[in-house]
Amino acid sequence: MDTFAARGYNNASLAEIAERAGLTQAGVLHYFRSKALLLTSVLELRDQRDIAQLGTRRPQGLEFLRHLVDTARRNAEREGIVRLYAVLSAESVTDAHPAQSYFRDRYSGLRAFVAEALTEACGLGEADARRVGAAANAIIAVMDGLQVQWLLDPDSVDMAASTDLVVTSLLAGLGSDAADRRLAP
């Protein structure tokens, strides 16, 4: 995990991973048939840990949105994991990347969760699906984008404060009838 985070998938070598794990490069390939399979295994392991840590029930509505802001706050103490996802999610859009479908599916699921939480928190209906979807995508995007800025320059970026500000502002905008305040016609 640390090696993929520090170097990205393409520039990481099995030799370095093996050394840090305390065996040889051939030893790594005994457990994982290929480098690509090792990457997807790492990502799935990461997911399983997160799910296990989340506990039995998933927070809903406003509580879920608070959970996102809290994640941004805790992430400032977990540089390794932040780096892993920031680097790999962007690298995954390159040609034939082994984690491409992983991230496609991940974003698809995240978008649905956030949109559901927004709908519930604001008491909206099917008629607002478009604006809710745009807001959900934006919340996920702001968290991802902040990570890259923060990794490059931690002192200039407060991930929790910016995430909180965006979620709060979007909630206020979605609640009221804000469709006529748009910047563009």
Partner DNA sequence: GTCTATAGCTCGATAGAC
Partner DNA sequence: GTCTATCGAGCTATAGAC
- Please pick, from the candidates 30, 57, 130, 181, the single residue that binds DNA as defined by CB under 7 A: 30
Smallest Cα–Cα separation from 146: which of 124, 128, 121, 163? Answer: 163
Which of 34, 16, 32 shows the shortest CA–CA distance to 24?
16
Partner whose binding site includes residue 111, from DNA, a copy of itself, none (CB under 5 to 8 Å by kind): a copy of itself
Neighbours of 42 (CB within 10 A): 20
Comparing CB distances to a copy of itself, the nearer of 8 and 19 is 8
**Nearest of 97, 104, 175, 105 to residue 135 by alpha carbon:** 175
Q: How far is the CB of 7 from DNA (least distance, A)?
A: 9
**Could you tell me the CA-to-CA distances from 25 to 16, 22, 79, 95, 97 in Å, in that order?**
8, 10, 26, 26, 22
Which one, 31 or 141, has the nearer CB to a copy of itself? 141
**Stretches 28-36, 55-63, 79-87, 89-97: which one binds DNA (CB under 7 A)?**
28-36
Name the H helices within 24-158: 25-31, 35-54, 61-75, 79-91, 100-122, 129-152
- Of 1, 6, 29, 140, the one binding DNA (CB under 7 A) is 29
| Residue span binding DNA (CB under 7 A) among the ranges 27-35, 114-122, 133-141, 149-157 | 27-35
Whole-angstrom CA distances from 174 to 59, 85, 89, 112 are: 20, 29, 29, 17
Q: Which among 33-41, 105-113, 147-155, 176-184 is the span making contact with DNA, rule CB under 7 A? A: 33-41
Who's near 135: CB < 8 A, 6+ residues apart? Answer: 115, 118, 170, 173, 174
124 to 163: interface string for a copy of itself, x by CB under 8 A = ------xx--xx-xx-xxxxxxx-xx-xxx--xxx-xxxx
Give the one residue of 20, 24, 105, 179 binding DNA; rule: CB under 7 A: 24
- Residue 169 contact, options a copy of itself, DNA, none, Cβ 5-8 Å cut-off depending on partner type: a copy of itself
CB 100, min distance to DNA, A: 16
